[in-house]
Amino acid sequence: MTNIAMIGFGGVGQALVEILEEKRESLSNQHGLESKVVAVADLMKGAVYDKNGLDVQTLLECVRKDGSVETYPDGPDVVKGMSSIDTIEQTNADMIVEVTFTDVKTGEPAITHCKRAFASRKSVVTTNKGPIALAYKELDEMARENGVFFGFEGTVMSGTPALRMPEETLAGNEITRISGILNGTTNYILTEMEKGKSYKEALEQAQSYGYAEADPTNDVEGYDARYKVAILANYLMDAPLDYRDVTVKGISDMTIEDVQEALGNGQKWKLIGKVERQEDGSVIGSVKPEKVEGTHPLAGVTGATNAILYECDLLGPVLLTGAGAGRKETGFSLLIDLIHYQKERKLQTS
Ligand code: HSE
C-alpha cells in the first residue's frame, strides 16, 4: 500500500486523485498499485490528515463546495491545519505528490519540499518545472542517496512521455539533437494566425481556453519552453545546462503578415526549443521562432498540441506528439510516475 500526501491541491492534484479513484481496480490488478490519500496540504485550501486514509469523495466534495479541505468531517484520527513541511515529514505518507503553486524562477517552495521529503526518506512525484530546471542534479543525487523515487514526467509535455520514452525505449542510442514545439499556447496562437486571426485575438482565445497563463509572458516570450529545454538537456543529454544560458526569443512581435507570407510559400512559423550536442561535446540550447518547410516533421503540428523530435545515432529521427498541458493529461503524468514507482518497489522486494 502506498500512502500519498498531496502537497498542493489544485486542478492537477485533484485530477490525479480522481483518476486513482476511477481506476482503482485496474491499477491494482494490472500494476499492483494500491494507494490511499492520507493527507492534503495546500496554502489556500488548508490541510487535513488521517493516518488511516481520507475518504476521497468527501475530500473532493469539500474542495468543490467550500474551496477548503478543512471542512472535511472530524474523526478520531483526523488532524487539520498542518503545514506542508509537517505533512511531508510527520505523516505516515511514503509518497509526496508535489503540485504546489511554485515560482518557476526560484523553484520554491517545490525545491524545499523535495529536499525535505528525500531527507525523510520519502519519494516524490512532481509536475513543477522549477526543481528539475534549476536543481536536477542535486535533487537526483539526494533521492538516490536516500533510496527513494523521484518522478517528474509531467514537467515536459504533461503526460506525453517526452522524458521516459527516450530514456527507456530509445536507450542505447546517442541523442544528438532534440527539437520540439514545447509550448501549447504559442503553437495555438501561430495556428490561429494562419487562419487569419490577429496575434491579440489569438492570444485572447488561448487565454479563454485556459492554455495560456493568467500572465501569458512566460508562454509568448518563450520562457516556459526555455525551462523545458533546460530539463531535456539535464535529464536526457546529461548536460548541466543552466536555463539562463538557453537563448530565448518569443513570438510577441510576430505579425499576421509574417505568418501569412510563410504560408503562401508553403512554410510555417513554429516556436522551436532545441538542445544540440556540439562537436566538442558541449550542449547548447535555444528557443526561437523558426520558419520551417511544410514537409518538416513539426510543420503539421497544430493548435495547442506539442511535439518533440529526437535525433538518434542508431534509429535516426523519432517524432513524439501529444498533449502538452491540461488537467487530466498532467494528472496522468503523475499516475505514470506512480506506476513506475510501484514497478521499482516490486523489483526491490522480489
Ligand atoms: N502554458 C503552458 C503551455 C502549459 O501553453 O504549454 C504547460 O507548461
Mind listing the pLDDT tens digit for each residue in 78-131?
999 999 999 999 999 999 999 999 888 899 999 999 999 999 999 999 999 999
Contacts with 285 (C-beta within 8 Å, 6 or more apart), sequence order: 226, 229, 230, 232, 233, 241, 245, 246, 247, 273, 274, 275, 276
Q: What is the pLDDT of residue 132?
A: 97
Is residue 349 very low, low, confident or very high in pLDDT (cuts 50, 70, 90)? confident
User: What domains can be seen in the chain, in order of their start residue?
Assistant: 2-158+328-349 (3.40.50.720), 164-323 (3.30.360.10)
pLDDT at position 209 is 87
Gap between the Cα atoms of 152 and 90, Å rounded: 23
Asked whether the bond before 109 is cis by omega within 30 degrees of 0, the reply is yes
Give the helix/strand (H/E) hosting 273: strand 267-277
- Is a pLDDT exceeding 80 seen at residue 214? no
- C-alpha 182 – ligand 1 centre gap (Å): 8
- pLDDT value at position 259? 96
Query: Does the C-beta of 216 come closer than 6 Å to ligand 1?
Result: no
How much is the average pLDDT of 235-252?
A: 96
pLDDT at res. 348: 83
Is 129 among the annotated ligand-binding positions? Answer: yes
The pLDDT value recorded for residue 123 is 98
| Residue 13 annotated in ligand binding | yes
166, 175 Cβ separation under 8 angstroms: yes
Q: What is the pLDDT of residue 39?
A: 98
Stated pTM of the model:
0.96
Asked if residue 212 has pLDDT above 90, the reply is no
Instruction: Read off the C-alpha cell for 222.
Output: 518563450
Average pLDDT over residues 189-195: 96
Between CA 188 and CA 305 the distance in angstroms is: 8
Binding site annotation covers 10? yes
pLDDT of residue 228: 98
How does pLDDT run across 54-86, given as a tens digit for each residue?
A: 999 999 999 999 999 999 999 999 999 999 999
Q: What is the mean pLDDT of residues 11-21?
A: 97
pLDDT tops 80 at residue 213: no
CA of 225 to the centre of ligand 1 (A): 8
Mean pLDDT in residue range 259-281: 97
Those residues with Cβ within 8 angstroms of residue 151's Cβ, 6 or more apart along the chain or in another chain: 123, 124, 125, 126, 334, 337, 338, 340, 341
Q: What distance in Å separates the CA atoms of residue 67 and residue 211, rounded to the nearest whole number? A: 23
pLDDT value at residue 158: 95
Q: pLDDT value at position 3?
A: 98
Ligand 1 pocket: which of 185, 191, 330 to mutate (most atoms within 8 A of CB): 185
Task: Report pLDDT digits (tens) over 117-170.
Answer: 999 999 999 999 999 999 999 999 999 999 999 999 999 999 999 999 999 999
Ligand 1: distance of its center to the CA of 347 in Å? 35
343, pLDDT greater than 80: yes
Task: Please tell me the predicted confidence (pLDDT) of residue 66.
Answer: 97
305 CB less than 6 Å from ligand 1?
no
Does 215 score more than 90 pLDDT? no
pLDDT value, residue 210 = 82
% pLDDT > 70, the chain: 100
**Mean pLDDT, rounded, of the chain:** 96
DSSP assignment letter at 155: G
How far apart are alpha carbons 159 and 168 in whole angstroms?
A: 15
CB of 324 within 6 A of ligand 1: the answer is yes
pLDDT at 253: 94
Average pLDDT over residues 186-195: 96
Q: Which residues are catalytic?
A: 228
